[in-house]
Amino acid sequence: MKTERVRPSENKTTPSLLRDRRGAVLVEFIVALMPMMMTFFGFVEVSKIYAAKLATKHATITAARAAAVFSNAHENNPGAEGSGEEQAKGAAAAALGPWIGNGAISSVDVTVTDRSSKEDPYGPVTVKVTATYQCKVPMMGQVVCKGGTMKIPYEATMPHQGAKYKAE
């Protein structure tokens, strides 16, 4: 009976590290996972930014409508008092309520410019709303927003809802 001598590199229980393929799939998975996760989180952050822009645009139109109805800065709107800025701020805050409530939008600035007059009570009322969006998606919030926050400005103009008559 002839016995063969087994060399250490041919031993099936301890394979050579050069031929060992155990763990290769795990390394390939980790190498591929990071770019995929960053791409996914980047798309999530960008979609949230566009949704916040759409909500801010809606808030601006709502605030412009409130300012056009309630503004009486030039005393050409019988029955109304004030510049309408408080009503515009309230309308913008109500439209952005869910975004402010979950912390995605941290602050909202509203400015009202009323260019109507007693001679032209239907002049334009312009409202500018600037919302500060907080980027909170992991891994990509700081990259997409460059600092973690983004200002979203919108402006809307509507005709003033004044009157040419006097209240009695």
pLDDT in tens, 115-166: 888 787 888 989 999 999 998 888 777 778 887 889 999 999 999 887 666 6
pLDDT in tens, 21-33: 777 888 888 888 9
DSSP codes, 132-163? EEEP-STTTHHHHHTSSEEEEEEEEEEE----
Mean pLDDT to the nearest integer, 82-92 = 85
- How far CA 28 is from CA of 16, 19, 21, 34, 42, in Å, comes to 20, 17, 12, 11, 22
pLDDT value of position 132:
92
Mean pLDDT to the nearest integer, 10-21 = 63
pLDDT value of position 73:
73
pLDDT band for position 85 (cuts 50, 70, 90) = confident
Which of 117, 130, 119, 136 has the alpha carbon at shortest distance from 49? 136
Choose between 59 and 161: higher pLDDT: 59
Q: Per the structure block, which two tokens stand in for 125?
A: 């009322």
Q: Say if residue 44 is exposed, middle or buried (CB neighbours under 10 Å; 0-12, 13-18, 19+).
A: middle
Q: Per the structure block, which two tokens stand in for 59?
A: 């808030």
Give the rounded distance of the alpha carbon of 36 from its chain centre: 23
148 in Cβ contact with 142 (< 8 Å): yes
Which of 154, 109, 103 has the alpha carbon at shortest distance from 133? 103
Mean pLDDT to the nearest integer, 97-102 = 86
| Weakest mean pLDDT among 8-17, 74-83, 135-144 | 8-17
Task: Tell me the pTM.
Answer: 0.76
Helix/strand/coil for 111: strand
- State yes or no: pLDDT of 9 exceeds 60: no
